[in-house]
Structure 1
Amino acid sequence: MAKRPVTFDAEALRSFVTGIELGSFVLAADRLGRSTSAVSAQLKKLEQQAGTELVQKSGRHLMPTERGEVMLSFARRILSLNDEASAALLASTLCGSLNVGMQEDFGETLLPAILGTFTRAHPQVQVSASITRNRQLLDGIRHNEFDLAVCWQADDAPLFPSSQSLGRVPLRWVGPQNFPLSHYLASNEPLPLLVFEAPCLMRSAATAALDRAGISWRIAFTSRSLSGIWAAMSAGLGVTLRTDFGKPESLQILEELPAAGDIGVSLHQSETPPGEAATHLKEAIIDFFTATILTVNK
């Protein structure tokens, strides 16, 4: 007779995933609204079900063991399906339409991770997504063309009354594989930059960081789209300053260039009173960025 497969406890899986993503089961307990002892008990239960240790300490943070990494991958998939089923079965009969705007950097993560799940859970809500630059997004919010917009947040730019900060992420220098950076740094030959057309927050941050470090630079390529910058970089034309959001795996982080600080992410909402659909989607976006930014900044 075949051995019955183990049915893993969903709440224990959630505690495990949250603890690993936050690097602390104390933080996980706070996020989940449980006591630390309850979360620890759930982890112990999950390890008993799995028949192996799933977590190990690495300095002040918790890391998955080798078997824990396997469990983490499956746990995320199980919880994703669980939450999608819950949303589909428990959702109210939302209807109407939503217009959402976002920076191109977020397109590959936000569209499938949030909007895909939302539209499957609320099929009667028509969601239109526009990918464009900050100025167009903010203008769209001012004129009520977007219900919600996810933007980069300039340090000196105030939030709208109905908007909020989603956190900050580090700016990183990105370049093609085998880019001869040492040659430019040693020879003082101007570093070729691939940037958006001005005005651009990251373009300004890049040139300011290089100026502070006394590194000469030149604008080698300008583009109206992020895909154009990635294509130019893949062709070896130069480097750029972006974040981890949307960076192609084929490109590398250039640690040798001067630190350029970080940049804020903000969620803007139109002044029109939000309907139930907009409120649900706003909460999903906040949850997604809270978890993602914590992971990026670890």
Structure 2
Amino acid sequence: MRPFDVDLLQTLVAIAETGSLSAAAPRVHRSQSAVSEQIRKLEQHCGVPLLVRGKLGASLTPAGERLVVHARRMLALSEEAFRDVLGRPLAGDLRLAITDYFRPATITLLLKRLRERYPQLRLHVATRQSLMIESRRDFDIGLSMRLLDDDVTPDEDGRIRLGREPLSWVASPALELDAARRLPLVVLPEACALQRLIIRTLNQSAIDYEIAHSAAGVAGLHLALAAGLGVACLNRSAIPAGMAILDTGLGLPAMPDIEFSILPPQPGESALVAEVRHVLARELA
């Protein structure tokens, strides 16, 4: 069996993170036509399609999604080996601001894995609302969530896109809901953009509701859901185990997808921060 070409895998990962061949090209220091040729070679090597091209960019096929998981591991190991040989470990202090909607069940394990892999890198992590992450830059790297009902351009401003997820209405299976009664809502404070969208959408849909519980963060929202206090709207990776996704029988409106991304570099960014940004993209995507 022939080994994979690491350069080809790097290009595939770049496309997965940016959402298009044109946006991936400058990241891998190649022209768009060269990137297209690399993907053709990789698909020929694998014998299956890896990308679906469309007007809005490129998306991974199921085979492509599986390969990207392996590719990120191989690239990280390659970089780690290179640093070890040169005696240049990833070292220093770095401030990371992250939305608590991002994989709350696994983010701790992911950060622990980073700490084990790069023991000399000291991450200082703060959980914040995405609005604060987008508007304030008192940190080195920010990971935020954006609603895709906004006017969002896929290739804009150097963000690293970690992926998009659907929003779903969820509740405890033990909660008894009646379409003829007010919908009990479990929400975060009004400063949360997602919660403002939820309220606005319910009002536009003429759905009668009441705030049954207001939680300070996603962890508190999970506790309220588990206690059967009401219904919440959450992105896929933030839905806690054991919750039921509600069907359309209650007349709940469809919601847009959300997207997680790492914010673009700040002016004068250090080489360490730039390196860690791409390491985080590989580990978290």
**1:209 Cα deviation from its structure 2 partner:** 0.5
**1:41 Cα deviation from its structure 2 partner:** 3.0
Instruction: State the superposition RMSD in angstroms.
Output: 4.7
Residue 203, structure 1, aligned to residue 198, structure 2 = no
| Alpha-carbon distance change, 45 to 135 in structure 1, aligned in 2, over 3 angstroms | closer
| Alpha-carbon distance change, 91 to 229 in structure 1, aligned in 2, over 3 angstroms | farther
What are the superposed Cα offsets for residues 34-65 of structure 1, whole Å, 9 maximum, x if unpaired?
A: 44344323333344xxxxxx449999877457
Q: 1:261 aligns with which of 251, 256, 259?
A: 256
| Alpha-carbon distance change, 274 to 171 in structure 1, aligned in 2, over 3 angstroms | same
Gaps of 5+ in 1: 1-5, 48-53, 157-162, 293-298
In 2, Cα distance between equivalents of 1:75 and 1:286: 13
Superposition pairs of residues 92-107 of structure 1, within 5 angstroms: 92-106=88-102
| Alpha-carbon distance change, 234 to 40 in structure 1, aligned in 2, over 3 angstroms | same
Give the aligned partner of residue 154 of structure 2: none
Structure 1 runs (4+) deviating above 6 angstroms are: 24-29, 56-62, 68-73, 269-272
Superposition pairs of residues 229-240 of structure 1, within 5 angstroms: 229-240=221-232
Residue correspondences, number:
263
In 1, Cα distance between equivalents of 2:65 and 2:140: 38
In 2, Cα distance between equivalents of 1:179 and 1:58: 41
TM norm structure 1 = 0.64
Give the aligned partner of residue 184 of structure 1: 178
Superposition pairs of residues 216-235 of structure 1, within 5 angstroms: 216-235=208-227
In 1, Cα distance between equivalents of 2:66 and 2:190: 45
Gaps of 5+ in 2: 151-156
| Alpha-carbon distance change, 223 to 55 in structure 1, aligned in 2, over 3 angstroms | same
**1:125 Cα deviation from its structure 2 partner:** 3.1
Superposition pairs of residues 1-298 of structure 1, within 5 angstroms: 6=1, 8-11=3-6, 14=9, 18=13, 30=25, 33=30, 34-47=34-47, 54-55=48-49, 63-64=61-62, 77-86=73-82, 88-89=84-85, 92-106=88-102, 108=104, 112-113=109-110, 116-117=113-114, 119-120=115-116, 122-134=118-130, 137=133, 141=136, 144=138, 146-152=139-145, 169=164, 172-176=167-171, 178=173, 183-185=177-179, 187=180, 189-254=181-246, 256=248, 257-262=252-257, 267=262, 273-285=268-280, 292=285
| Alpha-carbon distance change, 179 to 19 in structure 1, aligned in 2, over 3 angstroms | farther
**1:214 Cα deviation from its structure 2 partner:** 0.8
| Alpha-carbon distance change, 55 to 250 in structure 1, aligned in 2, over 3 angstroms | farther
Code of the residue aligned with 2:121 in structure 1: it is: V
Native 8 Å contact 1:10 1:79 kept in 2: no
**1:277 Cα deviation from its structure 2 partner:** 1.7
Native 8 Å contact 2:175 2:230 kept in 1: no
SS in 1 for 2:238: coil
Code of the residue aligned with 2:171 in structure 1: it is: P
Percent identity of equivalent pairs: 21
**1:206 Cα deviation from its structure 2 partner:** 0.7
Who wins on radius of gyration, i.e. which is larger?
Answer: 1
In 2, Cα distance between equivalents of 1:150 and 1:27: 23
In 1, Cα distance between equivalents of 2:14 and 2:71: 12
